[in-house]
Amino acid sequence: PSDIEGNMESATVIDLIPWMEYEFRIIATNTLGTGEPSMPSQRIRTEGAPPNVAPSDVGGGGGSNRELTITWMPLSREYHYGNNFGYIVAFKPFGEKEWRRVTVTNPEIGRYVHKDESMPPSTQYQVKVKAFNNKGDGPFSLTAVIYSAQDGELMFQMSFTLWVQMSATNISRTW
């Protein structure tokens, strides 16, 4: 609160962020002027709460043969809202009903690779991601459509020697 009557001995501060540390100071003002700020209070941590935002930029696709790579933008620490923070990644082939779910416990990782030897190449998948902590789950992200990896790509290596002949005004290359 910005102003508190002089006879008040307490005040409630609202709209604080869950699982965040705060310290407070008091400044007294009267007809004679404004005093110096008090010493800071001890640090106080607000209670935790389930995350209230979903990870963004959910996508992925590609990767190695028989893999489905799912990516997202990890939430910054201020949105963790509690201990034991991680992500639940849900995915399914397009058109199927059952979502497969996996847990990613590292809060800084924004990637999961699902490996399945029976996965057909270039299969369309629906994917979504949500955050969780010890207080509960947050909302799922928007559903993204990605594709599993294509069959192994043809790769070759070419080896050659490059001969360079040059003068002040010309360069000639031969291989």
Nearest CA-CA partner of 48 in 21, 26, 74, 10: 21
Looking at residues 83-111, what average pLDDT do you find?
A: 97
Instruction: Give the domains, in start order, of the chain with CATH numbers.
Output: 56-147 (2.60.40.10)
* Paired tokens of 103: 């847990």
C-alpha to C-alpha distance for 123 and 146, rounded to whole angstroms = 8
Q: What angle do CA 58, 59, 64 make, to 5 degrees?
A: 140
Average pLDDT for the chain: 88
What local confidence, expressed as pLDDT, does residue 102 receive? 99
Average pLDDT over residues 160-168: 46
Rounded to whole angstroms, the Cα distance separating 101 from 55 reads: 16
Nearest partner of 76 among 45, 107, 106, judged by Cα? 107
**Dihedral sign, Cα of residue 69, residue 70, residue 71, residue 77:** negative
CA distance 54 to 88: 11
Q: Which amino acid is at 28?
A: A
Q: What is the pTM of this model?
A: 0.78
